[in-house]
Structure 1
Amino acid sequence: LRNFTGNTRRLLYLKLFFKASFAHVNKCPCFSYSRLIHRHPVLFVLITCMISCILAVLPLVLAPLPDFSDPTIGFATRGTTISRRLDTLEKLRQEVRNAEIFSRFPDSLDVKEQITLKKRHSSNDRRKRPKQDKFNENGDTNITMFCSYSPSSMNSMVVFHLENPFSYKSLSALCKFEHRLYNTPLRHGLHLSSAGERSNGGPLCQPWHLASIAAQLVYKENCADLEPADQPFLVELIEKCIPYRRVIAHCLKSSARGSGKTCESIPENCRRFELHMLYNVLVPKDLFQSAQSNATTTLKMKNDSLSNLIDESVIFNANQSFETLMILSVSRRALQFHDDPIGLYNSILFEVESLSNEATMVAIRLGIEEAMFKMSLFRDLIYNVLAVIIILLIIFCFTRSVMYTAACFLCIIMSLGVANFLYTIVFNVRFFPFINLLTLIMVIGIGADDAFILHQAWKMAEKEDGENSSEDVIRNTLSHASTAMFVTSATTAAAFFSNLLSPIVVLRCFGLFAGIAILCNYVFTILWLPAVIVLLRRYNCKRDSGCKLNLSSRLFTMNTIREYGNKLASPSRLLVKFISEFDLMLMLIVSGVGLAAALAFFVGPSLQLPHIDHFQYFKVSHPTERWPFEQKKRFAFTEKAADMPMIMTVVWGLREESSPKQFEPTDYGQLEILPFTLGNNVSVQWMMQFCSRIAAQPFTNSLKLSSTASCFLPSFISALQHENCGSDRCCGDYVDSFNSSQFERCLRKTMIEYRPFLEHSDSGLLMGPLFERRTNRLAMVIVTYISTYNFSYAFNELETAPEELKGAWFVSENLKIFDLQLALTTISKVSLPIAIAITVVVLLLTTRNVLVITMAMMTIIAVILTLSVCLVLLEWQLNVIESTTLTLATGLSFDYTLHYAATYLLVRRAGSRKPVEEIFCKVGSPVFMSMLTTAVGGLCMTFSSVYAYYQVGVFMLLLASISWGYATFLFLPMCSVVCRLSSKLPSIHWPWKRRSHTQGSTLPPAAVPQSEAPSPLPELPPSFAFTGKAVADNNIISC
């Protein structure tokens, strides 16, 4: 250093200082992780608790709390072609509604002129409006009890099953139920006083049901006046008038208009609107069976003559049981935001139960489903709590330590808190869907698995290293358990993270949060639980004479638990003996089951897409779900509301990509304007031809929407043709010579003049020209049509547009459900191969044994195929929750097989000739307890009424049992067979690892006799091997 001066010497001194410092660090054993835990367990526990508590509290302070008011938010796609266009259209609709950037009408209209135009158009509308009939839709002109209109599917309703519908007892039960609803405190719960429907502002309308109809048919004021003697007359009238059920409404309408020809063939006492309501609204449409063939009935229905609609061959039995409706005089929308929806629902159930067996409630439709679902999400968390308690009891029975069980519980809670911090603050995702709550039960099951493995590894390390080598115990425990736990956690997290590839927003959010939670649980298991075990060990060392890990609590139940444990040991020994003795037979039988599952999977039916457009809140057996799934399609009057036309929209002047946030379903990005002009003659002529050709297509319905509202250009040119030419030259004589500025000026004038008419005729749709608010410049054009059925070939003519009209795009709001279902069918095809590929890579890196990898992958594939077949047999549909669970099948089915595979390599390296016995001795109990905790957690969730909780519970129950069954009765027999047939396994030897054929022998390879030379076994990763004494003798197994 004397040869250097100045800065050079100082740099050399600095270099030597750092070199010496890091050399000291590398040699110093106190920097070992196990040494740190051994010397400073209290520091680890306190720092971990403090950091996790701070990180868990930060999201509660810095971010808004999750909002589950609308649970359907996020169940849509993001990033697909259709979703990009729909998001852009929704953002445009918001901008037009706010009228800050774009406006449908230019801002150059004088207020006085606006009022004059409005009066002129309104007077024309009144002059042209036809006289309304008093009959409206149902022909009812003289009803005293009911409202003067027919009920709709928007009304609240209850479906009853009646054993003898027209008996006096059944009608009295319905009447009693009506009285309880309308004359008790339930009246206020149903908002009848404030939101109930009234006839012309008068008294409250009465509900529609069989008893109220029967009272009118026998000329009674209300159903309370019915008597048993009224039944024969009622049944006779109903049976007599059944053939005319299709023509009663036509007869009443024609009578209201003064024409009675339609009613000539109908008996006079059958011309009752009550009978029309009975036949066509209150009872199922399949109740009245015709003895004629379907072909004859169809021909009669197609005939225009109403007389041919009379069916004399109807078969009807008045004593048969059927379902019937009670339609309440309050809309579902009025009850949508009820304060106590579950209380209202339970009160109605209580009233139904008081009706004895004469009337039982089948389904209910009140509009409170979303509010009930929001409250049930938190109410049914009690089943999560129950699952946690049972799982903790299982951990306690296995470890016999209250403190260790409490530490496992705190580890899971801390991992969820830190996961929420990373999800909300670090990744800045503010949307928290309700399915993220499902992560709790999954993390509990996986956390219990890690707790069992760590506890068992510690016990095995203590047996090998003796009672006083506590530092070696920690090191050997972590070296064996950390990698096994990391592999299972990493594969499960990878299965969760594969949902990030899904275009469905809620699946992305769920995959991100659940994957983070799994990794956090692993980190806390490595940091927190070993330090807790060290503290418990020191506590036991102070109390006991030895230092062996004794987690047993000083409770009087320990002897009882130990006694039951000894009793359970006998069946486990029988199981081990059974697998060892009949390994080949078990392998063939269980492989046959797997092949049968594969055949059923590839040949038989697969998971189907949902057949109804309905977000399922509760289980199918729930009364609120039985209406859309079972009862809705049985009543004819609800079919009219389901016939919604497809609205097609074409947009010019706007880029279809608005770049919204991928994890925020309520964010629609920013609009980007494209250069757009519609002023030269070529563009105008092309747009005119486009509108006329689309209107003439068979897939458009020009009667649903006027041409003025759908495509403005033909009406605009026609209006100019009728204008007198003035100084502004906005008339038909100058249309062909318009430039861009003249065209826009005349368009603005026309839009201002016809604004009241256009606002009245647009049906609330976004259509026509849009202007920039600041400059009044024509910014874009929207053409809207209503389709009849098809959209696949709708707008291929956009390719022929002139250059200034390029960039148009087509979308329809009705394609949102189609896009969601398309994403559901493709997500499994993408996520499952990725999850399986990650599993193969993890197995390759951890086992480095081709045969073990092959056996493990055969087991995992058999688990996935069998699970899929079971879900098909359970009639699962490929919805969002089901798609999520299928993606997780790979990661969660991998755990048990991996534990067996790692232990198999360990015992084979030790030279064991009885792998099944030693595998069960080392990891049999932790694997079984892990399966038991997962199954118990899933079983508890099946009692929930929330559909998502129930589905996840069924999935966890099936997956735990199937995965453990295949791992135990397929993978272990294969290991036993391979061990018996050959001791030579093909291995992958890495170039940086030296192959040692003489390990354990002082002789060179050539000097070792062939009969005595040890068979070359695969190298085992350090994390799967205990560093210490030998595992066991070949013939002696010590558990």
Structure 2
Amino acid sequence: MVWKTTDNTDIFTTKNLKTLCEATDIYYPLKYSASECPAQSLGSFIARLRMKSCSQINDNDVRIVKHLMSDCSIIYFGGHWQSCSKNATCRDQSIQCFMDGRDIYLFKMFHYFTDNRYLADKSKVTYAQVIGNGIINKDEYFNDLLDGKIVYKNLNLAGLYMDNRINVFLDYMKKDLLFIGVGGIAILFLTAFYVRSLAVMISTLMHMIFSFLLAYFLYHIIVGVKFFPFMNLLCLLILIAIGADDVFIFFDAWSLEFEREKTITVEKLLKRTLKHAMSSITVTSLTTATAFFACYVSHITAIKCFGIFCGIAVLCNLFFMITWIPPIAVVLHCMKKCDCKCPKFEILTRVKLAVFAKFLPNMVIKFRHFFIIFFALIGMFGFIFTFYKPKLQLPTSENFQLLPKTFHLEAWFQTYEKKFQNTQNSPNVIVEFLYGVKPIDNGDSMEPGDNGTLVFNNLDFYGTEFQNHLLKFCQSVRKQPWARLGGGECSVEYFYRMIQADCKEGMFEAPCCGQDPNYMNRSILEHCFPQMTKGGYFIGNALYTLKSTNIKAYRIIVNMSDTFTFSFKGMATIYDKLDKFWHENGNKDGFFSSMFFDFYDLQLSLSTETFQAMAVSLAMACAVMFITTFNILITLLAILTIACAIFVTVGSLVLAGWQLNILESVAISLAVGLSIDFAIHYGVAFQLSRETSRIKKTHESFTNISSAVSMAALSTFLAGVLVLPSKVYAYFQLGLFLTVVMIVSWIYATFFFQSLCATFGPENNFMQLPIFGTCKENTNLIEDSENRSTARTSLSSGFNEGADVLNYEDEDDEKKVNLYESV
């Protein structure tokens, strides 16, 4: 346990030490202890030094021990405590530190119970550690005493080490699924409120369930991926948000087309809805799916599996959006009397029309130049925050964060583990040079438990050429300043030294003695080498097949003088040093490796593959957008918008303290797919507009799609906000990401992209490829021209009678144009 005061004052006071002893007795009771000895703390050791109980110590006792620790700190922090305890002269000079056996107590107080900054660079104990003798019934003990925030009087339990951290995490993960469920329910009720149909809400829920189940079937059975990381459960929240977004777009288009012509047949109504809504839904689903699939470039299995599963889930959502929701809409339309609809709120309808068909487009068009400059500058700041300063940092802790850092069980690993001397020691890096085995992983890359099989080089280890190479390589290793070999020798060196020894004086009998290595028969080498080197402790050893003298591999294990660090730069320096040495002294038939490079390899993969995945997903999103519209200018404006939105999103998360870990890498890759959705909806609506002026096109795209886009953003934003109270850090991060990305992407799509379209958008098929233009002209041209005036009249039904004429200055001819007669 790690305790600190609530007001960050010194624990090394009489009052606080007594409180610490009381808290130890309460939160580390003997009934849960694995031994009969009570837990120890700084207060109990001071009481021992003064031969009192903890409740009896006074200010004088604390003052005496403080002075004693201050006098003895030079010996401890100088690293001379052990040597001084064995040296009589040193002991006599520091008699106050070693008399009456007090050295044991003082050493433990420095080493275990006070933080490593006490007396080293400050004179107060900020953190005090309590150490017990093990816990029985860990889960019961945690649930009874330590679940939640623990404060006793003026002490706060800041950190806690228990080896059941994973069990606690799994328990919280199950409990916090409630937040995802609440978010899903909130989205469903929001859907029912917006569409005004409980039947649509139920259909949407079934649509999401079907999508998740079908995605799991395809992922597990068809694709054949057996590994299902817990991160895949996060896809459920994403699926709920995306599914609701698509439902908003579809039923908004359905209602709009029906309002245009009340007497329209169901066939025409469905046809027009699919024409206007499904193009946007399809392109946004494809861009989001490609953003997920782009995660496959990662070498990290959890990221690969998450990307594949979520990509499949998004495509399944699109499938049911095409095959399930439209028939539901037709059935509900034909059975209006049986449809349980919510009451129509005319005031809300008028507010909706006033905001999304009048106020919002008018404001964006009028101040479009300001919005372009302002949000472009914000995007530049986001770029600086992401890539320059403070920029997205690599993780500095090997422990994958499972719970919030403020939670004491997680705080130990993330914050307090290195604040005490007993946890300060970093191990030396151990490197292994291996010959005879190819560095090939032929196991299933999607299954972490599949290690594959060894692939051998089939080297001739008994050949003269390879024996000479091993001898020279071993000698080169021993000469390196970073190698800590302790005077040992390689088995090759030992063999050639002993094979030349006199048979009368040597350890081995003929023919394994008295040999000239230059003229030694190969059969002698094959017979004597295993016999002489199998049982020794050497720097390098041959690896044999079972019950055989056939050498399959040879390895040299070296303990380096360099210590392990979580710093990417520190481990990169060590790796580059070894890599240079290997290229100068090794050969192509071997390689070097170390388990100490696992975290460095993770950092390296995240630093390169995250941005590769983001670039791939951005390129694929660009391609999908272009194929959908076949307009170069619309595509460029959309890509500019998404780039700025991504920079602002990632920059905001960097300022919030995010580091580039596994989940963060997935979120950044996903940012492309989610950020472009709203821009695509507006872009497709702009492209489908039959108006000729870019101002009118922008206004019509607002009228047709902005309310659905805003509700889609609100639903996903709401889902993210409702997940934020989760104790599972991955859930919290996903909630924070969804919250930020929805705010940023909606703002940039609504204000920045629409301003760009109103200012630079294509007119008269400008930069339009003829493929789309021809199809566009020949598709329902008569229907569109007949219904345009009807649409305008219908859209004004929620407003008071009378004409609101809004004039804008067109940049091309500087004339005042009337956008709409009745809006």
TM-score normalised over the length of structure 1: 0.70
Partner of 1:787: 560
Q: Which amino acid aligns with 2:44?
A: S
Name which of 755, 767, 771 aligns with 1:987: 767
Partner of 1:356: 153
Measured after TM superposition, the shift of residue 955 of structure 1 is 0.9
Measured after TM superposition, the shift of residue 497 of structure 1 is 0.4
Partner of 2:571: none
Partner Cα distance (1:352, 1:985) in 2 = 63
Given the superposition, is the C-alpha separation of residues 650 and 1020 from structure 1 closer, same or farther in structure 2, using an over 3 Å criterion?
Answer: farther
Listed as ranges, the matches of 1:413-492 within 5 Å are 413-467=209-263, 469-492=265-288
Measured after TM superposition, the shift of residue 722 of structure 1 is 5.0
Listed as ranges, the matches of 1:755-794 within 5 Å are 758=537, 768-773=541-546, 775-789=548-562, 790-794=574-578
Partner Cα distance (1:654, 1:808) in 2 = 7
Q: Contact conserved, 1:408 with 1:448, CA < 8 A, in 2?
A: yes
Q: Does 1:259 align with 2:88?
A: yes
Q: Does 1:373 align with 2:169?
A: yes
Partner Cα distance (2:383, 2:80) in 1 = 61
Given the superposition, is the C-alpha separation of residues 776 and 363 from structure 1 closer, same or farther in structure 2, using an over 3 Å criterion?
Answer: same
Partner Cα distance (1:994, 1:972) in 2 = 25
Measured after TM superposition, the shift of residue 935 of structure 1 is 0.6
Partner Cα distance (1:447, 1:899) in 2 = 15
Name which of 17, 25, 47 aligns with 1:215: 47
Partner of 1:232: 60
Name which of 494, 512, 524 aligns with 2:320: 524
Tell which structure's C-alpha radius of gyration is larger: 1
Partner of 1:323: 127
Q: Which amino acid aligns with 2:96?
A: P
Measured after TM superposition, the shift of residue 325 of structure 1 is 0.8
Q: Contact conserved, 2:434 with 2:554, CA < 8 A, in 1?
A: yes
Partner Cα distance (1:251, 1:788) in 2 = 21
Partner of 2:814: none
Q: Does 1:639 align with 2:418?
A: no
Unaligned runs of 5+ in 1: 1-156, 197-203, 291-314, 544-550, 996-1018
Measured after TM superposition, the shift of residue 900 of structure 1 is 0.9
Given the superposition, is the C-alpha separation of residues 910 and 527 from structure 1 closer, same or farther in structure 2, using an over 3 Å criterion?
Answer: farther
Partner Cα distance (2:528, 2:378) in 1 = 77
Partner Cα distance (1:646, 1:1025) in 2 = 76
Query: For 1:916-959, what per-residue CA distance to the aligned partner results, in whole angstroms no more than 9, with x for missing partners?
Result: 44323211111011000111111122211112111111111110
Partner of 1:171: 17
Q: Contact conserved, 1:653 with 1:676, CA < 8 A, in 2?
A: yes
Given the superposition, is the C-alpha separation of residues 732 and 793 from structure 1 closer, same or farther in structure 2, using an over 3 Å criterion?
Answer: farther
Measured after TM superposition, the shift of residue 968 of structure 1 is 1.0
SS at match of 1:788: strand
Measured after TM superposition, the shift of residue 816 of structure 1 is 1.6
Name which of 675, 680, 686 aligns with 2:469: 686
Partner of 1:11: none
Listed as ranges, the matches of 1:78-157 within 5 Å are 157=1
Q: Which amino acid aligns with 1:325?
A: Q
Name which of 419, 423, 437 aligns with 1:654: 437
Given the superposition, is the C-alpha separation of residues 742 and 727 from structure 1 closer, same or farther in structure 2, using an over 3 Å criterion?
Answer: same
Partner of 1:159: 3
Measured after TM superposition, the shift of residue 488 of structure 1 is 0.4
Given the superposition, is the C-alpha separation of residues 748 and 241 from structure 1 closer, same or farther in structure 2, using an over 3 Å criterion?
Answer: closer
Q: Does 1:588 align with 2:416?
A: no
Partner Cα distance (1:239, 1:727) in 2 = 68
Q: Contact conserved, 1:496 with 1:887, CA < 8 A, in 2?
A: yes
Q: Which amino acid aligns with 1:846?
A: T
Partner of 1:514: 310
Partner of 1:105: none
Partner of 1:921: 703
Q: Does 1:281 align with 2:112?
A: yes
Given the superposition, is the C-alpha separation of residues 823 and 252 from structure 1 closer, same or farther in structure 2, using an over 3 Å criterion?
Answer: closer
Name which of 621, 624, 628 aligns with 2:413: 628
SS at match of 1:633: coil
SS at match of 1:914: helix
Q: Does 1:833 align with 2:623?
A: no
Given the superposition, is the C-alpha separation of residues 354 and 647 from structure 1 closer, same or farther in structure 2, using an over 3 Å criterion?
Answer: closer
Q: Does 1:936 align with 2:718?
A: yes
Q: Which amino acid aligns with 1:356?
A: K
Q: Which amino acid aligns with 2:126?
A: F
Measured after TM superposition, the shift of residue 735 of structure 1 is 4.1
Measured after TM superposition, the shift of residue 845 of structure 1 is 1.9
Q: Which amino acid aligns with 1:779?
A: K
Partner Cα distance (1:353, 1:501) in 2 = 44
Q: Which amino acid aligns with 2:767?
A: S
What's the % identity of the aligned pairs? 25
Q: Does 1:697 align with 2:528?
A: no
Listed as ranges, the matches of 1:746-895 within 5 Å are 746-751=528-533, 754=535, 758=537, 768-773=541-546, 775-789=548-562, 790-794=574-578, 807-895=589-677
Query: For 1:371-410, what per-residue CA distance to the aligned partner results, in whole angstroms no more than 9, with x for missing partners?
Result: 2222222221111101101111110110111111111111
Q: Contact conserved, 1:906 with 1:1025, CA < 8 A, in 2?
A: no
Partner Cα distance (1:326, 1:424) in 2 = 47
Q: Which amino acid aligns with 1:450?
A: D
Partner Cα distance (2:772, 2:216) in 1 = 41
Partner Cα distance (2:351, 2:180) in 1 = 30
Q: Contact conserved, 1:158 with 1:327, CA < 8 A, in 2?
A: no
Q: Contact conserved, 1:617 with 1:947, CA < 8 A, in 2?
A: yes
Say which is worse superposed, 720-729 or 164-173, in terms of deviation: 720-729
Partner Cα distance (1:731, 1:269) in 2 = 56
Given the superposition, is the C-alpha separation of residues 577 and 606 from structure 1 closer, same or farther in structure 2, using an over 3 Å criterion?
Answer: same
Partner Cα distance (2:782, 2:293) in 1 = 30
Measured after TM superposition, the shift of residue 793 of structure 1 is 4.0
Partner Cα distance (2:476, 2:273) in 1 = 77
Given the superposition, is the C-alpha separation of residues 618 and 489 from structure 1 closer, same or farther in structure 2, using an over 3 Å criterion?
Answer: same
Partner of 2:494: 715
Partner of 2:454: 671
Partner Cα distance (1:1024, 1:887) in 2 = 40
Partner Cα distance (2:672, 2:256) in 1 = 29
Given the superposition, is the C-alpha separation of residues 678 and 723 from structure 1 closer, same or farther in structure 2, using an over 3 Å criterion?
Answer: farther
Q: Which amino acid aligns with 2:546?
A: R
Query: For 1:421-479, what per-residue CA distance to the aligned partner results, in whole angstroms no more than 9, with x for missing partners?
Result: 11111111101111111111111111011101111121123234543511222222222
Q: Contact conserved, 1:907 with 1:1031, CA < 8 A, in 2?
A: no
Q: Contact conserved, 2:30 with 2:38, CA < 8 A, in 1?
A: no
Given the superposition, is the C-alpha separation of residues 329 and 512 from structure 1 closer, same or farther in structure 2, using an over 3 Å criterion?
Answer: same
Q: Does 1:1038 align with 2:795?
A: yes
Given the superposition, is the C-alpha separation of residues 602 and 824 from structure 1 closer, same or farther in structure 2, using an over 3 Å criterion?
Answer: closer
Q: Which amino acid aligns with 2:4?
A: F
Q: Which amino acid aligns with 1:238?
A: K
SS at match of 2:515: helix
Measured after TM superposition, the shift of residue 801 of structure 1 is 7.9
Q: Contact conserved, 1:768 with 1:783, CA < 8 A, in 2?
A: yes
Name which of 724, 737, 750 aligns with 2:503: 724
Unaligned runs of 5+ in 2: 563-573, 797-823
Given the superposition, is the C-alpha separation of residues 1032 and 234 from structure 1 closer, same or farther in structure 2, using an over 3 Å criterion?
Answer: same
SS at match of 1:664: coil
Instruction: Count how many residue pairs are aligned between Structure 1 and Structure 2.
Output: 776
What root-mean-square deviation, in Å, do the aligned CA atoms of Structure 1 and Structure 2 show? 3.2
Partner Cα distance (2:555, 2:238) in 1 = 48
Measured after TM superposition, the shift of residue 521 of structure 1 is 0.5
Q: Which amino acid aligns with 2:109?
A: L
Measured after TM superposition, the shift of residue 173 of structure 1 is 2.5
Given the superposition, is the C-alpha separation of residues 234 and 181 from structure 1 closer, same or farther in structure 2, using an over 3 Å criterion?
Answer: same
